[in-house]
Amino acid sequence: MTQPIPSFSYHLPTAIEFGHGALARLPALARGLGGQRALIVGDPGVERAGLVGRIADVLSQTEMPIAIFTDVESDPDIRSVEQGTAIAKAERCDFVIGIGGGSALDTAKAIGLMLTNAGTIRDYVGINKVPQPGAPVVAIPTTAGTGSEMTIWSVLSDKAQQVKISVGSTYNCPRVALLDPGLTLSLPPHTTAATGMDALTHALESYVNRATQPISEAMSVQAMTLIARSLRVAVAQGDNLQARADMLLASTIAAMAFNSTRLGLVHAFAMPLGAKFHIPHGLVNAILLPAVMRYNLPGNLPKYAHIAEIFGERVENRSLRAAAERSVEAIEQLKQDIGITAKLSAFGLSEDRFDEVVDEALQSGNVPVNPRQPTREAMKAILRAELE
Ligand SMILES: [Fe+2]
C-alpha cells in the first residue's frame, strides 16, 4: 500500500550562530542587523552572573549606545513586556538583545514586537495575530531547554488572572540565535535537569503528534539522540563542555521541530499547572511526561518503539507494543538518573482542583494534535498518577 505524499509548510526565519566563544560574534551580528541602539533584556540572575556586563563589553567595540532592562521575573507577567518596551522607546532603541532562559528570551521577543506594533501584547494573543515584523532580536540562551531562541512563541503570565498567554507569530522569531555552550556551564544540576527535560518533551511531543512532518521528525530524532547521549552527563558534570554543547544544540533543534507542529498533552497541562501552581515549566513537563507517554502509546506504537531504541533500550525480539512500552521505562530511568523525583501535590495540587486544570488544558492548541484524543477521565487519571 502506498503512503500519501505529505503536504506541509516549514518556515525558519532565524539564523543560527553556534560555537564555544560564539558570543564574540555579537558585534559583527549587531552591525549586520543595522541596529542603531540596543536594548539588552535579561533577568536579575543573568545580571548577577555578570552576563549583561559581558554583553555590554563585547558590544562596546561597536560604539552602539545601549539601554539595559533586567527586571524580567520568572514566568514573566505582561507587565515585564510593558516596562521593557517603555524603556526601549524612551531610549529610542531599535534592536533587542535577549540573554537568559526562556523567561528573558520570551520577554525580549515580545518587546521587539511591541517596538513596531500598536496596542499592547494582549492584542496579539493567539497565532499569527501580529500585523508587522518586530524590531530585530538576537537571542542568547543561557539554559538548554525552552528553545525560545528559535520559536514563534512568547509565553507570558497574566498573574492577575492566573493564566498563561501565548503569542505565536513568525514575526516573533528572533533574527539570530547566538548559541554559546560556554554560557550554560554554570547552570546548577536541578535547572540543567528540568530544562533538559523540557527540550526532550519538545522533541518527543512533536515526533509523535498528528501534525508532524518529515523535517520535524528528522529534527526530533536528532534532538532526542543528543539528549540520550548527554543529559545525564550535563547534570552529573556541569563543566563538561561537550555535554553542554550537545544539550544546547538539542534544545535548539527540538524547537526547530515543534515550531511548525505544536506539541501535545504534556504542554497542554503545563500551562494551567504553571499559571495556578507555579511549577517551573521544565519540571512540570518532567513530572508528567512518562504518564502522558503511557496514555498516548496506542496512538503511535512504532514511534514510541523508535524512541525506546534512541534511548538505548533493547527492542529486538519484542512485540511492537512491548518495544513501545520500553520508551516509558527509559524516560522514567532518565528522570531518576538526573534526580527528578517531584510530584504534583508538592506544589499544592489536589484532586478538587483537577476539573479546573483539565478545563484549561483542553483549551490548548496542543490537544488536537496529541496522538490520542484525551477524555476528561483519562486526563484526571494522568494527574492522579503523578499527584504523590
Ligand atoms: Fe516547553
Going by pLDDT thresholds of 50, 70 and 90, the confidence category of residue 3 is confident
Determine the distance separating the centroid of ligand 1 and the alpha carbon of 324, expressed in angstroms.
23
Going by pLDDT thresholds of 50, 70 and 90, the confidence category of residue 128 is very high
What percentage of the chain reaches a pLDDT higher than 90?
89
Chain centroid offset of residue 102 CA = 7
- The C-alpha cell 502506498 sits at 2
Summarised one tens digit per residue, pLDDT across range 198-235 is 999 999 999 999 999 999 999 999 999 999 999 999 99
Determine the distance separating the centroid of ligand 1 and the alpha carbon of 92, expressed in angstroms.
33
Residue 4: inside a domain: no
Judgement on whether residues 226 and 321 belong to the same structural domain of the protein: yes
Domains in the chain, number: 2
CA distance 56 to 38: 10
Determine the distance separating the centroid of ligand 1 and the alpha carbon of 283, expressed in angstroms.
10
Residue 266's pLDDT is: 98
Asked whether residue 160 carries a pLDDT value surpassing 90, the answer given is no
Summarised one tens digit per residue, pLDDT across range 225-254 is 999 999 999 999 999 999 999 999 999 999
Residue 1: inside a domain: no
Determine the distance separating the centroid of ligand 1 and the alpha carbon of 132, expressed in angstroms.
26
* Listed residues 184, 209, 236: the one ending a domain: 184
Residue 211: inside a domain: yes
Residue 6's pLDDT is: 87
What CATH number should be reported for the domain holding residue 92? 3.40.50.1970
Residue 5: inside a domain: no
What CATH number should be reported for the domain holding residue 279? 1.20.1090.10
Judgement on whether residues 205 and 345 belong to the same structural domain of the protein: yes
Judgement on whether residues 127 and 225 belong to the same structural domain of the protein: no
Judgement on whether residues 100 and 143 belong to the same structural domain of the protein: yes
pTM of the entire predicted model = 0.94
Judgement on whether residues 161 and 261 belong to the same structural domain of the protein: no
Determine the distance separating the centroid of ligand 1 and the alpha carbon of 34, expressed in angstroms.
32
Compute the half-sphere exposure of residue 97: CA atoms within 13 Å on the CB side of its CA.
Answer: 30
Q: Which residues surround ligand 1, an ion (CB under 5 A)?
A: 198
Determine the distance separating the centroid of ligand 1 and the alpha carbon of 308, expressed in angstroms.
21
Determine the distance separating the centroid of ligand 1 and the alpha carbon of 71, expressed in angstroms.
22
Residue 6: inside a domain: no
Residue 62's pLDDT is: 86
Judgement on whether residues 125 and 217 belong to the same structural domain of the protein: no
Phi then psi dihedrals of residue 355, to 5 deg: -60, -45
pLDDT average, residue stretch 92-120: 96
Residue 228: inside a domain: yes
Q: Which helix (H) or strand (E) holds 153?
A: strand 153-158
- Residue 114 in grid coordinates: 511591541
Asked whether residue 14 carries a pLDDT value surpassing 90, the answer given is yes
Residue 293's pLDDT is: 98
- Residue 84 in grid coordinates: 521593557
Judgement on whether residues 200 and 154 belong to the same structural domain of the protein: no
* Listed residues 184, 206, 238: the one ending a domain: 184
CA distance 171 to 136: 10
Judgement on whether residues 195 and 174 belong to the same structural domain of the protein: no
Going by pLDDT thresholds of 50, 70 and 90, the confidence category of residue 1 is low
- Residue 313 in grid coordinates: 533500550
Judgement on whether residues 100 and 26 belong to the same structural domain of the protein: yes
* Structural domain span for residue 309: 189-385
CB 10 within 8 A of CB 44: no
Judgement on whether residues 31 and 143 belong to the same structural domain of the protein: yes
CA distance 302 to 185: 36
* Listed residues 184, 208, 241: the one ending a domain: 184
Judgement on whether residues 60 and 194 belong to the same structural domain of the protein: no
